[in-house]
Each structure stands twice: as structure tokens, then as C-alpha cells.
Structure 1
Amino acid sequence: MKKLLILFLLGSSLAYGQRNFTIEETVLGPRQFAAQNFARTQWVPSADAFTHLDSKFQNLQVREATNNWQPKNILSANELTEALKIAIGQAAKLSNFPVDYHWVDSTTLSFSYQTLEKLYLLQYDLRTKKANILAETPAAGRNVERSNDYSKAAYLMGNNIEIIDAAGNVTQVTNDTVDGIVNGSDYTHRQEFGINKGMWWSPDNEQLLYYRKDESMVSNYPLVQWSDRVATVKNIRYPMAGMKSEEVSLVVYNTRSQRKTTLKTEGPKEQYLTLCTWDPSGKFVYVGILNREQNHLKLNQYDAASGVLVKTLFEEQSSSWVEPLHALTFVPTTNDQFLYQTDKDGYNQLYLYNTAGKLIRRLGDKDVIVESLGDFSADGKKISYTGITHNGLDRHLFQVDIHSGKTQQLTSESGTHAASLSYNGKYLYDQYSSITTVNDISIREIRSNRRTALLEAANPFEGKIDLPKIEAVALISADGKTPLNGRIIYPPDFDATKQYPVLYYLYGGSHAQLVQNKWLYGAGYFDLYMAQQGYVVFTMDNRGSDARGRDFTRVTHRQLGKAEMADQLQGIAYLESKPFVDSKHMGIFGWSFGGFMTTSFMVQQPDIFHTGVAGGPVIDWKFYEVMYGERYMDSPQENPEGYASTSLLDKADQLKGNLMIIHGAQDPVVVQQHSMEFIQACIKAGKQVDYFLYPTHEHNVLGKDRIHLYEKIANYFDMHLKK
């Protein structure tokens, strides 16, 4: 009954008091109309209980099996504030309960607090109601990495590393003053290859592994700063495809001897170093060595004390690219076995190796893609993970037995699940949504399969917003083999005998997916707003996008945009087959890779779209950076034909429709040179094109200015597409 009601609500039903979104709500709406949920849910160690924050973020609530999972306040922000004041010895105020709270054990939790001078990590004991300082670092310190026992913390001051111990003693680890030498930064290799940190503490808490990046030889790229009386230039190091790239090494700093040892990662200086993982013994470091061509990976073991290569455990090669994204995960029951993730057999899955480099077994299940790892079971024999199924639409929780390889799917309803097991594996916390389900939360006892419903969120738009009707669309790729996922959103009071203009919203690039089986089917509030303004809004994920496996992605190699456009033409043909679509008044909009796709359609298929808006568009891949660009296109020297065919500069003379390009003047990702070169090409070709610049924004227009952005885009389509 509930799902039938929600399906009705997903359709257009202009009930009394309902209205359309305002342009402000395209940005503010996700918070204003957020579905009811439990915030910051965590299982309590060694207990059949979990905690979450209340709806006002003021209290920590516990739900216990013995109390039939009913909520009970156990600690408030005010109580924690009083303990905090005593611990740090000065005035303090928590406006909300700390969202970064973490259970240390069943009675103790940790949280952070920052003043103007210091960043504190504290621990609170529920029994004594007292807080104590675990660690503290200067507030100005960045990228803080704490040792496992909290006895030390490493952080960055500028481009150098400092370490502070429990007594407050500070050690300067690096002292580089050369512009372009950067230590310990997570912004190494531009955060590709799964890199999200630049320093790693050893298991014994005595050694710090860190990146040392030398980008002094990389070209400076100027970003004009308009806020000064006389505009100034901020230079960034930006290695364009085919040009000189950064040189990176890995260094081990021993806090006892204060000795530094550089790992002997022999090979070309412009190779990539990733998958950095300490051996549980603290004697070895594992590093993935990926060549600049990104088609040959070696997993190497190095001696931490001498930096010498011990051995290469295994190698992985591809005719397209190898993309390591996940550090090794050692099995807790043994020091000589680890989990490695790769899509070498078609789908990103788990593989169990030993430290001799022998593959013990594949732990994958059919075509399930491992999206994220969960926790090991209490005995260390199993591990859970979130897996992608149903042609990329669904997310489920799985658990695999490491020694047998047997896999169990723990969630069942079709949709997007965020689920986790209790520490003893007795209970499953399951939160999920789908196109027909706003947000459901339940607890299931694994052995009996007994389910306790905790929350069935109501439609947050009911009685407030006239929500447009959303439908799933299933198509086949241009090669006739691969299912593609799409969605269509209809205007309110849709009449199939009438014709409507179209907004075709797309992205199309790697590591992104716009259509998922979750509430609103992944649609954004701007999509819903434009449907309410009288547009049929359509979106589809083409080959090359995320969550569909290796072959779905690799088809784009050396020719970005070709297969993607061919697939999107399938979506366009679907729309043009509908009598309610005004095919002469179709608009296309995308940002970044979507901006590249939008501009590509406007100049390579100029008779399809009447109007386009391209935000932060890639225009020519030779202007894009090395790590991303060369993975998909190889270098301009290796693939001149591919770069020439995908460049839009020599195709500007084919532009027919109305095109507005929007760019952030401070964009360090797709630099403004892309759009400026295209504008100049349009001028030379005698083609009119509209251009709008956001002077203070980078790759995305954020904050209040995003409302201005969406209003500009909506007005542009209204001006050209509305009859």
C-alpha cells in the first residue's frame, strides 16, 4: 500500500497547497526537503546496540536489542561541552554534537574540537563523564595523520612535515624551501589512482612513510586573481598531456633515529607511486609502481630500513589502462595475506594474495562490482563489502568467507543500500531507498531473519511540492549489446497529446553515474525544477561512465567522446520517437566532461540540439592534465589522430544552434584556456557564441552563487526553447 502511494506521489498531482520549486530551492532544496534519516549511525563495539544523532544534532541516541531498538538519549552536546571545557582548560562550546564521533570501545568515544590555536582529539568516558585529550596539533596544520596509539601526529605546515608528540615536542621532518618541492601532500599525482593521503604511520607508530613530490620542472599555469586593486597572478603547477610531469618519491622517516630512507623505486622519474601500504610487521612497505603510460603495474615490496626492493609480488598489464584505486587490506588473522582489488577479469573484485605474491583465490561473486569495503568479522574470517548489481543500478551488502570464497548477499530489496553488520555479526543495520522508496531503515537478526522496522520515511514533498513524474528508461548501446540506464522526468499535468521542449542533461565521463535506483532515481533538484517549468528532462549513462565494469569503460580508450556520443544518440532517438517531444526545441546541458559532450554535440551533430549550455568544458584534451588525460587518450605524441578527432577547436565552424559556455575564472581542473580557445575559434569562423565567467570560482560554482548559475541556465533555455 505504501509503495502504491509513493508511486502516485511520484506522478504529477497538483493537490491543494502544492507548488513548484523556486530557483533558490534548486540549491537549498536537498537540505530543506531532506527525507527523514538517522545521522552518523555507528555500531557500538561488543554490544548489540547502535547509536546515531537525533534530528536536531543535539543528542547522541542509542538503540539496543534488549529495548527492541527504541531510541534513548545517552549524551548531549551540552554535557559534552562541560567535559570539554575542563579537558582543554578554556571556554568551549559545541553548537551540535560532533559528527565525527567514533566509538573506541563500548563505553568510550572520541571526537575532535578546534580552537583558533589548536585542533584537539579527545576521548570521552560515559562512565566517568570525563573527557581527556588524546592528541593536539596546531590549528594551522593541514592533513593531520595520527599514529595508531595517538602518541604522535604528523601534519603539514606549508609544503613541509612536522611531528608533535604527546608532550608537545615538535620535530621538523622536512625543511624544503624550493618552490615546487612538496612533502606529505595528498594532492600527489593530482589525487588520481585512489590517492587520498600523503603520509602513513607504521604499525609500530615509530616510522612515517610520506610522499616527496618534485614539481619544480612542471610548467607554471597562471590563474588571474581579480579581487586585488591591480589583478595578480596565482601560479599552479599544471602538467598538460604530453608535457613534463612531476617526479615523486617515497620516504620513510624513523622517529627514533631521525633517519630518512628513500625507497629505491627505480624506473623512469615520471612513473606513478600508489597503493602505499605498511606490512603488519612494520618492516616492509608495499607500493604499486605504475608507468606513465598507465598500462603496466608492478606491486613491489621494499625494506623500510634500507629502502631496497625486496621483490615484485606480481604485475598487471592491459592494452588500455590499469587503474589501481585501493591500498592493500591485510587479513587480521595472518600477517602474510592481503586483499587486492582489481578489475583485471572484468569487474572490480577482491583477490586474496600472500606476501610471496601467490594468488590464493578470487573472492569475487559473478559480475558484482566491489564499490567499498566494510569490516572484517570478529574472528577475521569474513569481510563485508558494498557491491553494485543490476547493471549498475543497485547497491547491496555482501559478505565473503576469505578461506572458502563463499559469498552471501545480506540485503535483498532492489535499491541502494547502506548497510552494516554489528561487531559480532548477529545483526544487520539496513538503510535503503529506491525509485519507489524514500528511505527505509530496519534491523534484521541474521540467524532468525527477524526484521524490525525502525523508519519508513514519508515523502518529504507531500503537500508542499508538485513533484514531477519520474520513469526509468532502458536502452541498448550503439553496438547493440549493452543495456544502458536512463530516466525521463515529465512536466506537471503532462498531456501526451501535446509537445514539450526537452532538456537533455548528461555527463558521460568516467567515475560518475547519474542514474541509480534510489529516491528520485538520482535526479537533481535542477532537473526537477526544469521539468516543472514545462520541459521533458532526460538523462542516460553511456558506456565509459561508472559502475558497469572494465569493458564498459575501456571502449573509450584513445577516442574520448566517440562511443559516448554514439550511445547518447540512442537516447536522442528514443526521445524523437515520442510524439510528445518537440524535436525542434531540444536543449542539452552538461558540466566538465558533460561540457565536453555538450559542445561536441553542438558542433559535431549540429542539427539535433537547438540550444546548449556547456559548463567548464574540455575543448581539446591536449590542454588537460597528464594523469587523467593520458590514461584515456595516451599522450598527444602517441595518439595524434585521437587528439585531432576529439578536439573541438577545428569544428567550431559547424556550430548552428545557440551555445552558452560558462567557466570559473579560477578553474584549476579544466583551465579557462579551453573555453577561451574555443571562443576565439568561433570568432574566426564567424560563429556567435555566448560566454559567462564566474570570476571567483574554480571548477564548480558553489554556495549562493550556484543559485545565480542555475537561474542563468534556466533563463537561457527559456529564451531559446520556449515558444
Structure 2
Amino acid sequence: MKKLLLLFLLTGMVATAQQNLTIEQATYGQYQAYAPKSLTAPQWRTDTKTITYLDNTYSKLMSRSEESNWEETTFLTKQDLTTALKAKFPSDYFSFQIFPYRYEWKDKNTISFEATGTNGTYLVLFDVEKKEVKHAVSFSKDAAQQTMAPNGTKAAWLNENNIVITDENGNNTNVTNDTDKGIVNGSDYVHRQEFGINKGMWWSPDSNMLLYYRKDETMVANYPLVNFGERIAKENDIRYPMAGMKSEEVTLVVYNVASKTKTTLKTEGPKEQFLTCVTWSPDNKYVFVGVLNREQNHLKLNRYEAATGNLVNTLFEEQASTYVEPLHNLTFLPNSNDKFLYRTEKDGYEQLYVYNTDGKLIKNLGYNDVVVMELLNFDAKGKTVFYVGTANNGLDRQLYQVNLKSGKTTQITNGSGTHSVMVSSDGSLALDSFSNTTTPNDVSIIATASKKATSLLKSDNPYTGVTELPKMELVTITAADGKTPLNGRLIYPGNFDANKQYPVMVYVYGGPHAQLVTNDWLGGASLFDYYMAQQGYVVFTLDNRGSDARGRDFEHVIHRNLGQNEMADQMKGVEFLKSKSFVNQDKIGVYGWSFGGFMSTSLMLNHGDTFKVGVAGGPVCDWQYYEVMYGERYMDMPQENPEGYEKASVVNKASKLNGRLLMIHGAQDNVVVQQHSMQFINACITAGKQVDYFLYPTHEHNVRGKDRIHLNHKIADYFDTHLK
């Protein structure tokens, strides 16, 4: 009897030990303490059936191979790297706190990584068999966007707005010498990083030429950001091209390392066009560029001769009544100089097409309504290619293999959920990390031919014994068009009682290139959503038409009419909520950031009878104050679409505000500049409407670091104060 009593007391202690999440845990816990167990920084070793990854201490590179039946062994240590670097650079001091997280396999015996010494930063090619440095290039610690040439003997980097090339002997060559800060060379911040741009410099495959962006923004208006960190506040000007105003002028330049000469590609046409899809040909002779007009409805894929800059041919043109949005560089087929993969949604879904360099379509590789989300490897013979694509109305991610000649597509993975996949260099094996709403993470090796899986790791629920997460379910709601199924996520309040009524927090984004509801662990939600549910809220999210992963027509309903169809769909979500007996229809609030801040404010003003409380972070308040590249894609110019801009503006609707609205903005926001919320606040003052406002003086578009805890606390307090 005493043993039973003791057992009862102990189990009771365990039960009461599970507390609600703290705001600190809710902010970073899902990425740190409560992240499902997984492999850290996994990579396939090139030309092998071996995977490598970091150990739990981040000090060793571990490996598993088919040859060893996937048993874990130590492959390299941070001490191996330190010893080799000290031998190569005896005058410098290296101390790795962890094994380089961003290591990358370049070939079977070589990894690349970045190292920091006392004297500077190094890009390193390391021989894993000999455990020695093959090549290394050093830079000043002030260097930015450094990129090593394929042969490892030199690297290009940015010294403010100019490009420098440094060889492995430490010799520097100044590629550009522009003194005007309005001329920016080699930066990835071209066209404000739209169109998939994440690089500003590209080495030719033979390492003999450097292709780079040259951006002239001297004609773009200066926009002042105020730095409050100094005793006398300092103005920090940025160049910000607003919709309908003068935009930057961009060219592409080829620098020949041997002759030190420059050749500008003759991308003739309007100076404010966009240059995208920048790709070297494998034979180093040509550069392919997607030339997109400012209206963003007409794309030309052009080939230019690298030596002269001359236009060789226009391979094809792509036009749309809405917009064309190129997002990816070309991918040449293995051992081919004249055939490549091109990704486009021109036929309804972003899919793969094989073209030759004369512009002839060789094969459409599209499969049903699958959207290609990530292009992976080819097989060893170059006959098939692997990619991760959507399934289950955009909720799932699966691995697909498609034959380049026949177009036959095979789904490799199974099990409804999210498969995050890396394919070996010969295509025979895939490392699959799988999760869904009931599976934190299952890691396995899949033989792509047989689809047979070998389990490597299964994660337990990381919240067991810590906290009990509220119930979550994925739901389907019909859009305002009466036919399109929309994906939603409903998180029930903690300690849910069906006989009670609860307040609601609708978390919204709603814009393009974002998907909030997914069939993975936590359903795509942040832990802050679960925190709010534990505080007694129904937390609801809906991916309306206009959001990501459902195809062209699903997204393009927003064209020239931002906010309208999105709000109509969100109100269908509200109808769903109001059909639930446990929802308090008089206590519905909404929260969102960026496009979600625009949506939150729009819903508060246009549907004030429904939404009683709102929080809008970094909100677009008037699209005429947003930048050219994103804003004009969806809305055209203000002078071309005045009705659309007027309808989308929340500034001219300030008089409709009835509930409690908190606006939050970063004073250093260079994406949605603070002028947006200032215009709205001023309109509220004019209309005699009270509105709450909070500024983060040092933050840009997102509130990061420890201040994120402060932000989440403020949001939770606002709902607790005004909605409960």
C-alpha cells in the first residue's frame, strides 16, 4: 500500500511539473531546447554513399556509410582543421569553437569552409584524406560577400561598394574603383533581392572570369533612416525606389582576370529593366540572362557572348496578363553545353522544362499539379533528376524523380507529411527527414530504386515532461469563390472545455511567397501560437488565395487588387470559427507582420464588427510607399492603377477604426519604411481615432535577438488586456 501511495505521489508530481510555456520558451524553444532530435548540418560526401554531419558537441564531423551498415564513426575533428591551418599559416592563431557549420563537399576528398583567425577571415579548401589545407584565401575581417573561385586559387570580395580579388598568396587586385557610393558593384542587394537574387558575383567554371552586377542608384531618391543610438541622432540615408518613381539601373559586367579587362553585356532596352536568372554556360563562353521589363509581364531569356558582351540570341520569351516572376538560374544537364532545365509557372504550376540553347523546348517535365519547391541532383548517368514538390493541396512535400527523355515521374517518398530530402551525388540514395503533425522527426536513408528505407533516427516528442501542447488540427475551408479549398490550422485552448467560450487570435500573413499551414511538426505554427493557446485563446490561421505553394492562378488573384480576395477568404475562416460553439464571437482579434500587418489593419478597418483587437507589425499601410520591384509586380504603378491603390490603402480608412489596434514598427526598417505607420497614425489623429503605437528604435523590418522576447510579451499583453 505504501508503494502504491508513493507511486501515486510521484506520478502526481510529474503531472504537476508540466507547466505552461514561458514567453522565453515560446520565443526560441522550438529552435533550441525543444527542437526535435535530428542530424546537424548533414551532407552527402561527393561520389560516395556516405553522409556526414556534426556531433552533439559541434566539435566533430561524424559519418555513416552504406559500407559500414550506417554505423556512426568520427570522420574529422575541429582539432584536425586547427592543426592544418596553423601549419599553413603559422603566424596566425585559429581557435574553432565548433566545427564549421557551413562546410560543403566540393569533391570526394575536399570540403570547403570559412575560418576566422586573429589576422583575418579565410576561405579554405581542405583535403580530408591528407588532413591538410589544399587552398586558402585570406581577407580583412571587414570583407563582405566573399566567393571563392572553383579552382580555389583566388576569391572575390566586397570592400564597401567595390570588388577586390585576392589570390592565395595574398595579392589583391581592385576590380572596381568607384568613389560614388551610389555605384554598387558585386552586391547581392540588386533589385532589392527579388527574383530569387542571392548573389552579385559569379565565377566562370574555369575560374578565369568574374561576372558581376553593377548597380547605378545615383538617380534613386535618398530615403532617411534615423539612428537614435548617438547623442545627436544621425541620419542614415538609403536608396529606396518607391512604386511609380525612378528605379535603379543595373548592368552585368565580365571581368577577365588575366587581361584585367571588363566587358559589359549588351542587355539593351529600357534602363530600369530587371536582369535575372544569371547563369554561366559550362564551357565558359556564354552568359544567360533573363531580361524582365519593369512592368514584369514580359521576360526574354537571352544568351550573350562573354568575350564581347554581344547578344547571341533570344532563346524564348514569356509573357503574362498579370506578371512573370523568374526565380531560379538555369541548371545545365550533366556533360551538356547545350541543354538545361528551366523553372517556370507559365502553364499553371512552377515546374521543370528541358530547353536547348537555341530555345527549342525539348521536354515538359511537369507532373499533375505538383509545384517544384527544391531542385536536387541528377542520377549518375544524367538521365533523371530529383526534386522536392508539393502534394495534398500544398500541405505535403514529397520526393519525385523524373526521366529527362520520357518525362515519366515517380514519387519516391510516401507517407503524408513533409519530407526534407538530400540526394547522393549518384542519385542512388536519399537522406530523408520526415515529419507530420504527429511525427516530430524520422530520419532515414531511402534507396531510390527500390524505395526501401533504413531508419537512422526517430525523435521523441521534445515537449514530453516539459509541457502539454494544446490540441491542434488541420482544417479545410472553401474560399470566397465558392470552389477553392483552403488550408487552415486550428489550435484549441489549453485545458479545453467544449462547454466554455474562448477568445480568438487569428494569426495572418496572406501574401505571396509565404505558407503558414503545413503538414509537419506543429503544423507550421510557431511556438508562440501554442503559448497563446495555453493562455486560453483559440488560435487560428488560414492560407488564403494569394499565398504560396498552390500554383499560379491561386496566387495571381491578388494582381492589382491587394488585400481584397485575401480578406474575403479570411472572412470565410471567420465564418468557420463562428460555427464553433466554443468560440466567443464577440472576442475575435487578429495579428500579423509585414504583409500580415497590412492584412491585420485591413481586417480591423473593413470588418470592425468582427475584429475587436488587432496587432500590426511592420505594416504596409499604403502601397505607393512600397518599393518598385515587389510593389509594382502585384499592383502595377500608382499612376496605372489608382483605384487599386486607393482600395488597398488603410490610411484613407483610418476613420473606420473602432476596436483597439496596436501598431509596431522598427525605426531602422528599410523594407517597409516607418513612413507607412506614421501616415496611418497621422490619419487616425485627423479622424479623432485612438490607436496604440510602439517603436523598436534599433531594429529593421524584424525584431530579432533577445528583443524578440520583449515583442512577444507585448503582443500577448495587448490581447490579454483588451480581448480577454
Return the TM-score normalized by structure 1.
Answer: 0.96
Q: Distance in 1 between matches of 2:553 and 2:567?
A: 17
Q: How do 1:377-392 and structure 2 match up within 5 A? A: 377-392=379-394
- SS of the counterpart of 1:364? coil
Residue 295 (structure 1) aligns with: 297
Residue 62 (structure 1) aligns with: 63
Tell me, yes or no, if structure 1 residue 27 matches structure 2 residue 27: yes
Residue 170 (structure 1) aligns with: 172
The one-letter amino acid paired with 1:457 is S
Q: Distance in 1 between matches of 2:687 and 2:200?
A: 47
Task: Please state how far the C-alpha of 1:445 moved relative to its aligned partner.
Answer: 2.8
Residue 317 (structure 1) aligns with: 319
Q: Deviations over 1:23-69 (max 9, x none)?
A: 11122212111111001111222322211111221221111223221
Task: Please state how far the C-alpha of 1:116 moved relative to its aligned partner.
Answer: 4.6
Tell me, yes or no, if structure 1 residue 535 matches structure 2 residue 517: no
Q: Distance in 2 between matches of 1:591 and 1:103?
A: 37
Residue 659 (structure 1) aligns with: 661
Tell me, yes or no, if structure 1 residue 504 matches structure 2 residue 506: yes
- SS of the counterpart of 2:96? coil
Task: Please state how far the C-alpha of 1:132 moved relative to its aligned partner.
Answer: 4.1
Asked if the contact 2:378/2:427 (under 8 Å) is kept, the reply is: no
The one-letter amino acid paired with 2:247 is S
Tell me, yes or no, if structure 1 residue 356 matches structure 2 residue 378: no
Residue 80 (structure 2) aligns with: 79
Residue 710 (structure 2) aligns with: 708
Asked if the contact 1:87/1:132 (under 8 Å) is kept, the reply is: no
Report which stretch shifted further, 117-126 or 403-412: 117-126
Q: Distance in 2 between matches of 1:125 and 1:189?
A: 38
- SS of the counterpart of 1:15? helix
Q: Distance in 1 between matches of 2:64 and 2:205?
A: 34
Q: Distance in 1 between matches of 2:308 and 2:643?
A: 46
- SS of the counterpart of 1:570? helix
The one-letter amino acid paired with 1:78 is Q
Q: Distance in 2 between matches of 1:255 and 1:127?
A: 31
Counterpart of 1:346 (choices 348, 353, 358) is 348
The one-letter amino acid paired with 1:413 is G
Q: Distance in 1 between matches of 2:107 and 2:284?
A: 25
Counterpart of 2:328 (choices 326, 329, 343) is 326
Task: Please state how far the C-alpha of 1:366 moved relative to its aligned partner.
Answer: 1.1
Counterpart of 2:377 (choices 367, 375, 378) is 375
Asked if the contact 2:502/2:538 (under 8 Å) is kept, the reply is: yes
Counterpart of 1:488 (choices 478, 487, 490) is 490
Residue 278 (structure 2) aligns with: 276
Q: Deviations over 1:205-230 (max 9, x none)?
A: 11111111110110110001101111
Task: Please state how far the C-alpha of 1:696 moved relative to its aligned partner.
Answer: 0.6
- SS of the counterpart of 1:75? strand
Residue 256 (structure 2) aligns with: 254
- SS of the counterpart of 1:67? coil
Q: Distance in 2 between matches of 1:376 and 1:75?
A: 28
Task: Please state how far the C-alpha of 1:14 moved relative to its aligned partner.
Answer: 9.4
- SS of the counterpart of 1:24? helix
Report which stretch shifted further, 631-640 or 16-25: 16-25
Counterpart of 1:419 (choices 412, 418, 421) is 421
Q: Which runs of 5+ in 2 are unaligned?
A: 1-12
The one-letter amino acid paired with 2:487 is N
Report which stretch shifted further, 568-577 or 125-134: 125-134
Task: Please state how far the C-alpha of 1:249 moved relative to its aligned partner.
Answer: 0.9
Question: Residues 79 and 251 of structure 1: is their aligned pair in 2 closer, same or farther, counting only changes over 3 Å?
Answer: closer
Asked if the contact 2:413/2:451 (under 8 Å) is kept, the reply is: no
Asked if the contact 1:442/1:453 (under 8 Å) is kept, the reply is: yes
Report which stretch shifted further, 535-544 or 303-312: 303-312
Asked if the contact 1:120/1:133 (under 8 Å) is kept, the reply is: no
Task: Please state how far the C-alpha of 1:697 moved relative to its aligned partner.
Answer: 0.5
Q: Distance in 1 between matches of 2:154 and 2:68?
A: 40
Q: Deviations over 1:264-285 (max 9, x none)?
A: 1111111111111112221211
- SS of the counterpart of 2:717? helix
Q: Distance in 2 between matches of 1:684 and 1:582?
A: 33
The one-letter amino acid paired with 2:86 is K
Q: Deviations over 1:384-438 (max 9, x none)?
A: 1111111111111111111221212111111111123323333222111000111
Q: How do 1:614-693 and structure 2 match up within 5 A? A: 614-693=616-695
Q: Distance in 2 between matches of 1:680 and 1:33?
A: 43
Asked if the contact 1:87/1:133 (under 8 Å) is kept, the reply is: no
Residue 246 (structure 2) aligns with: 244
Q: Distance in 2 between matches of 1:553 and 1:495?
A: 38
* RMSD between aligned residues: 1.4
Question: Residues 399 and 468 of structure 1: is their aligned pair in 2 closer, same or farther, counting only changes over 3 Å?
Answer: same
Return the TM-score normalized by structure 2.
Answer: 0.96
Percent same amino acid at aligned positions? 58
Q: Distance in 1 between matches of 2:344 and 2:670?
A: 30
- SS of the counterpart of 1:504? strand
The one-letter amino acid paired with 1:555 is V
The one-letter amino acid paired with 2:25 is E
Q: Distance in 1 between matches of 2:488 and 2:200?
A: 38
Q: Deviations over 1:88-139 (max 9, x none)?
A: 2132111111112222343443322022532212233343333344333332
Q: Deviations over 1:513-560 (max 9, x none)?
A: 100010000110110110000000000100001111000011000000
Residue 3 (structure 2) aligns with: none
Q: Distance in 2 between matches of 1:571 and 1:543?
A: 12
Residue 45 (structure 1) aligns with: 46
- SS of the counterpart of 2:698? coil
Q: Distance in 2 between matches of 1:317 and 1:697?
A: 39
Q: How do 1:189-208 and structure 2 match up within 5 A? A: 189-208=191-210
Q: Which runs of 5+ in 1 are unaligned?
A: 1-12
Asked if the contact 2:377/2:427 (under 8 Å) is kept, the reply is: no
Q: Distance in 1 between matches of 2:660 and 2:340?
A: 55
- SS of the counterpart of 2:327? coil
Q: Deviations over 1:473-504 (max 9, x none)?
A: 11111001211001111112101110001111
Task: Please state how far the C-alpha of 1:369 moved relative to its aligned partner.
Answer: 0.6
Residue 146 (structure 2) aligns with: 144
Q: Which has the higher contact order (CA 8 A, sep 6+)?
A: 1
Residue 433 (structure 2) aligns with: 431
Asked if the contact 2:58/2:98 (under 8 Å) is kept, the reply is: yes
- SS of the counterpart of 2:17? coil
Report which stretch shifted further, 81-90 or 365-374: 81-90
Report which stretch shifted further, 28-37 or 542-551: 28-37
Q: Distance in 1 between matches of 2:601 and 2:452?
A: 53
Report which stretch shifted further, 115-124 or 302-311: 115-124
The one-letter amino acid paired with 2:149 is S
